Amino acid sequence: MKTKESLVKELNLLTDKYSVQHFILKNHESKTAVEICDELKINLKKLVANRLALGGVVAENGFIQLDKVKAKKVIKNHLDTISKLQKKIKNSASVEQEKKIVKEKNTYTNHDGVYKQQARDKMVNAISQVDSPMGVIPTLPSYTGKLEMQILESVGRGFEFIGCERDFDTFHKLVNTIAENTKLRKFLKPRFCEIGEVIFNAKTDEFAHLILDYCGTINSFHKEIEYAIQNDLVKPNGTISITLSKNGIGNNAGIVGELLRQFPKGCFGDDKETEMGVKLFINKVMKPNYKVETFFNYYDSSPMMLIIIRRIS
Ligand SMILES: C[S@@+](CC[C@H](N)C(=O)[O-])C[C@H]1O[C@@H](n2cnc3c(N)ncnc32)[C@H](O)[C@@H]1O
């Protein structure tokens, strides 16, 4: 989004003149020319030199003898000029914004994927169980807020989402989506941050559920998942939903590699290694008061896994 200053420059306007005109236009009925000059710290000569001042202020206060009809015409002309100017600025701003959106490379684009919707349905279904708690849900809405809308529509009120997003352009679009949607505006508070910051700063029972729809690799997020479970951040009966990519985990890399190295090479079959690594990780961080409710393999541009864990007591 362009600033007023950059637009004024691009449209060859003088910032000073632009603000003076606006000020005069806004105040010409309530202030005298002298008051306007005082506030703008300009002399009357300059005010007279200003075309808008001729019609709007000076004529009104008798400094220049225009008859009323003429004065009104001048004021109308100036008003027309200003509104044309404003339209030009508005159009130029939205064209710029559209150009930017087309150019933008988003971190996530497969919002309409069929299997993605199946994964969403499972997360919503888990949250809508009768004894599932209400309250705060940290989540990763991307810029659409689709999953959060689905929860609000099928489960109803009683939730407040902390919508975390770490990519600036996506965050910017999310803010626009929220601004245009009354429900999201009320129940989804956007936050430009890593969701890990919210997790590591939380206390026991602080959240109703956690929706960690990362679609990323577990090696980047395993510490916050472990922290959430170890510290019982979701209330009893609350769920932790995690989506992970099966790509990008080499056998020797990170936490998954570490866990897989305890087993003979190839014992799970190549295509199952990542899945087994993730299961081993979940098994390692689980406590007796948790259960794995869902393990769903799906395809969302690339192979993914959805894991839903519930705190049972
Ligand atoms: C897979 S998308 C979310 C999809 C969305 N929940 C839906 O139902 O369509 C993940 C989004 O979260 C962001 N993201 C991924 N990891 C994150 C993290 N650790 N903290 C904050 N944002 C993150 C990505 O930039 C992306 O916009």
Q: What value does the mean pLDDT of the chain take?
A: 79
**Bridge partners for 308 per DSSP:** 241, 294
Q: Which atom of ligand 1 is nearest to the CA of 170?
A: 27
* Residue matched to tokens 């003076």: 20
CATH number of 114-311: 3.40.50.150
List where CATH 1.10.10 sits in the chain. Answer: 4-92
Q: Which atom of ligand 1 is nearest to the CA of 193?
A: 21
Contact 222 CB / ligand 1 (< 6 Å): no
Residue 89 clears pLDDT 70, i.e. is over it? no
pLDDT at 62: 38
| Dist CA 138 CA 170 (whole Å) | 17
CATH number of 4-92: 1.10.10
Are 174 and 143 a contacting pair, CB within 8 Å? Answer: yes
pLDDT, one tens digit per residue, over 270-304 is 778 888 889 999 999 999 999 999 999 998 888 99
Residue 81 clears pLDDT 60, i.e. is over it? no
| Dist CA 54 CA 64 (whole Å) | 7
Residue 50 clears pLDDT 50, i.e. is over it? yes
Of 82, 76, 79, the residue nearest 11 (C-alpha): 82
Identify the DSSP state of 299. Answer: E
Are 227 and 158 a contacting pair, CB within 8 Å? Answer: no
How many angstroms is it from 249 CA to the middle of ligand 1? Answer: 19
Contact 198 CB / ligand 1 (< 6 Å): no
Contact 258 CB / ligand 1 (< 6 Å): no
List where CATH 3.40.50.150 sits in the chain. Answer: 114-311
- Which residue's CA lies nearest to atom 4 of ligand 1? 142
pTM metric for this prediction: 0.69
| Dist CA 207 CA 239 (whole Å) | 10
